[in-house]
Chain A
Amino acid sequence: MAEPLLELRNLRKAYGALVVTDDVSLSVRPGELHAIIGPNGAGKTTLIHQISGTLASNSGSVLFGGEDVTQLSMPQRVRRGLARSFQITSILPGFSALENVALAVQARSGSSFRLFGQASQEKALNEPAMECLAQVNLAARAHVPAGLLSHGEKRQLELAIGLATAPRLLLLDEPLAGTGHEESQRVVETLRRLKERLTIVLIEHDMDAVFSLADRVSVLVYGRVIATDTPARIRENPEVRAAYLGEEEMV
């Protein structure tokens, strides 16, 4: 097996007596799409926060590409290639779709302390940004203010922003949340294309999507990983079935 790209060791986050994630250890291999599923309140989003550096962990460590990044801030982790999306759409509503993505390109190319020159005219920023938009089928909407995009388009835009940071690993927090059937099909197609060339950690409630996309699945229940395996084996795992009983229909 290749060396894992992302490795979590005994991660824990608690708010007082409330333990949200507990002793989470996982390793994500380069190139795989690793899904994390679990019933509501299992601590999935908290885990994403801990991996991305949005939240500090109480204990445990996060290794990315062999480097211990536990003490690094979110921007520092992003610069090492660990990008994330948000469960609740997080974009710059007053900026055009293109500018949203171009800013992410700008973050990794050259100094942002330049006080002169029109940033919106820089080809070196706009062209890669356009490419990212094209990858999520948003090129035609590049000049629309992001706040005016449809919900599905905003989800796509978040993906494009994530791509523009040139990540080695993309953490996706429920990219399908709130999308209609057609929109979600489009996002799934986009993800299928992206997984060809990117390592992805995906949190998702839509089991159809998870089982059609994932290479491996980890199941988080009450903040603990109870199983990590291929989708087929996870589906048969009795413990997982028990955890989900009455929660959601397993495929």
Chain B
Amino acid sequence: MTEIAETPSAPMPSLSTRFEIVPIVLFAAFAAAPLLAAYSGAEGYVLSLLTRVMIFGIAAMALDLILGYGALVSFGHAAFLGLGGYAVGILASHGIEDALVQIPVALAASALFALVTGAISLRTKGVYFIMITLAFGQMLYFLATSLAAYGGDDGMTLSSRSLLAGTGVLKNDFTFYWVCLLCLLGAYAFSRSVVASRFGRVLRGTRENSIRMEAIGFQPFRFQLAAYVLSGMLAGLAGCLLANQAEFVSPAFMTWQRSGELIFMVVLGGLGSLHGAVIGAAAFLLLEEFLPEILHSLSFFLSEEARSHLAENWKMVFGPLLILIVLFVRGGIMGLLRRPHHG
């Protein structure tokens, strides 16, 4: 007995610590990008694309928190993007333009929506959960389309980016980029902490075996609901940033297709690693951006007309690509990165 008590209780090296190199490289790349963008000749374009990547990275990471660690397939996460976006848009249209007010309001709205819809959704399991989250997302989508005062179907254009503590620093694309990177880093650090914490351990345990968790005295519902709320708030934050990036909000922020894309980003990057979700978001958005051009250059052997036709219909390649990835690339990009280490 005594010798046991002395056994060092150092945990075995967890998977996450063994692959720290990946997030470091990832965030270093984001930090270096604006410097390189200056040389690219299309600075504005590169910055805005990468800002979008980081914003969707936050949203995908938020989803990964419940999907990867809690096995909760939420098919309505785009609703939180919309909530965040509309909080910014609606407040701005009433003259409240400071992000220091807008963001807390957006987070509170997201938390409230997550709390109410989560409490109902989490009563159901499996496919019912997928569908009910989908339905709640649609509910918010249709609400947005019928808000005539705030642009209805067409959405609303923001007159400018939000103020920050009364100053207009966010109007500078570089500053905005750095703010987004800071948010991404903050969200990542927060999520990593949550996953490793007592709370995160209960969440992960519930994913593996919910009956066992009940049998040692946990009520999974509470933990799942709390995780759902946290995840919703993070996605709401992404929504605030997205509205500022686009200087526009519309119901298109929260179509169910957008929710599907978020799930795809997480799965593409690899479930349950947080930075995998960011990589997935990057891969998805860059693919979406460049697939037309890639197709165009890959099909050099075709006639020019056929090539542009192909580039125009890139989604016909994108869809099957998605199917093939689901069928054959298990574990996503992080899975591919891991494989060589395991031999």
Interface residues of A (CB under 8 A from B): 52, 54, 73-75, 78-79, 83-84, 86, 90-96, 98-99, 103-104, 106-108, 110-123, 126-127, 130-131, 133-134, 139, 142-143, 161, 164-165
B200 near A119 with CB under 8 A, answer: yes
A107 and B197 in contact (CB under 8 A), knowing A92-B205, A96-B11? Answer: no
> Distance in Å from the Cβ of B31 to the closest Cβ of chain A?
25
B212 within 8 Å of A by Cβ?
yes
Residues of B near A142 (CB, < 8 A) are 7, 9
Our pick among B5, B202, B211 for the contact of A106 (Cβ within 8 Å) is B202
B194 within 8 Å of A by Cβ?
yes
A-B contact pairs, 25 of them (CB 8 A): A52-B215, A75-B218, A84-B215, A92-B212, A93-B209, A98-B11, A103-B202, A106-B198, A107-B218, A110-B198, A113-B223, A114-B197, A114-B198, A115-B194, A117-B197, A119-B198, A119-B201, A120-B196, A121-B11, A122-B198, A131-B4, A161-B212, A161-B216, A164-B216, A165-B217
A119 and B9 in contact (CB under 8 A), knowing A103-B205, A108-B217? Answer: no
Our pick among A78, A123, A139 for the contact of B215 (Cβ within 8 Å) is A78
B12 within 8 Å of A by Cβ?
yes
Question: In the complex, what residue of chain A is closest to B196 when comparing beta carbons?
Answer: A118
B209 near A90 with CB under 8 A, answer: yes
B209 near A92 with CB under 8 A, answer: yes
Our pick among A54, A103, A110, A118 for the contact of B216 (Cβ within 8 Å) is A103
Residues of B near A121 (CB, < 8 A) are 11
Chain B residues 1 to 38 lying within 8 A of chain A, measured CB to CB, are 1, 4-5, 7, 9, 11-12, 14
Residues of B near A94 (CB, < 8 A) are 204, 208
A83 CA / B216 CA spacing, docked (Å): 7
A86 near B194 with CB under 8 A, answer: no
B9 near A130 with CB under 8 A, answer: yes
B226 within 8 Å of A by Cβ?
yes
A79 near B209 with CB under 8 A, answer: no
Binary per-residue interface labels of chain B (190-229) against chain A in the complex, 1 for a CB within 8 Å, 0 otherwise: 1001101111111011001101111111110001001000
Question: In the complex, what residue of chain B is closest to A107 when comparing beta carbons?
Answer: B217
Residues of A near B223 (CB, < 8 A) are 112-113
> How many of B's residues come within 8 Å of A, CB to CB?
34
Summarize B's interface: helix, strand, loop or mixed: helix
Residues of B near A93 (CB, < 8 A) are 208-209
Residues of A near B196 (CB, < 8 A) are 117-120
A143 near B12 with CB under 8 A, answer: yes
Residues of B near A73 (CB, < 8 A) are 214, 219
> Distance in Å from the Cβ of B126 to the closest Cβ of chain A?
19
> Distance in Å from the Cβ of A205 to the closest Cβ of chain B?
21
> Distance in Å from the Cβ of B238 to the closest Cβ of chain A?
19
Our pick among B197, B217, B230 for the contact of A118 (Cβ within 8 Å) is B197
Residue from B9, B219, B226, B230 whose CB has the most chain A CB atoms within 10 Å: B9
Our pick among B7, B190, B208, B209 for the contact of A139 (Cβ within 8 Å) is B7
- The 7 A-B residue pairs with the shortest CB-CB distance, nearest first, are A78-B217, A107-B217, A126-B9, A134-B4, A104-B216, A120-B11, A92-B208
> Distance in Å from the Cβ of A158 to the closest Cβ of chain B?
9
A70 CA / B311 CA spacing, docked (Å): 66
B193 near A116 with CB under 8 A, answer: yes
A118 CA / B193 CA spacing, docked (Å): 7
Residues of B near A134 (CB, < 8 A) are 1, 4-5
A111 and B198 in contact (CB under 8 A), knowing A116-B193, A134-B1? Answer: yes
Chain B residues 179 to 194 lying within 8 A of chain A, measured CB to CB, are 190, 193-194
> Distance in Å from the Cβ of B195 to the closest Cβ of chain A?
10
Question: In the complex, what residue of chain A is closest to B212 when comparing beta carbons?
Answer: A90
> Distance in Å from the Cβ of A74 to the closest Cβ of chain B?
5
A52 CA / B12 CA spacing, docked (Å): 34
Residues of A near B205 (CB, < 8 A) are 92, 95, 103
A120 CA / B230 CA spacing, docked (Å): 22
> Distance in Å from the Cβ of A81 to the closest Cβ of chain B?
10
Question: In the complex, what residue of chain B is closest to A118 when comparing beta carbons?
Answer: B196
Our pick among B11, B193, B197 for the contact of A143 (Cβ within 8 Å) is B11
Residues of A near B201 (CB, < 8 A) are 99, 103, 106, 119-120
> Distance in Å from the Cβ of A169 to the closest Cβ of chain B?
14
Residues of B near A117 (CB, < 8 A) are 193, 196-198
Question: In the complex, what residue of chain A is closest to B211 when comparing beta carbons?
Answer: A90
Chain B residues 296 to 328 lying within 8 A of chain A, measured CB to CB, are none
A74 near B198 with CB under 8 A, answer: no
A224 CA / B230 CA spacing, docked (Å): 49
Question: In the complex, what residue of chain B is closest to A126 when comparing beta carbons?
Answer: B9
Our pick among B1, B214, B230 for the contact of A74 (Cβ within 8 Å) is B214
A52 CA / B211 CA spacing, docked (Å): 12
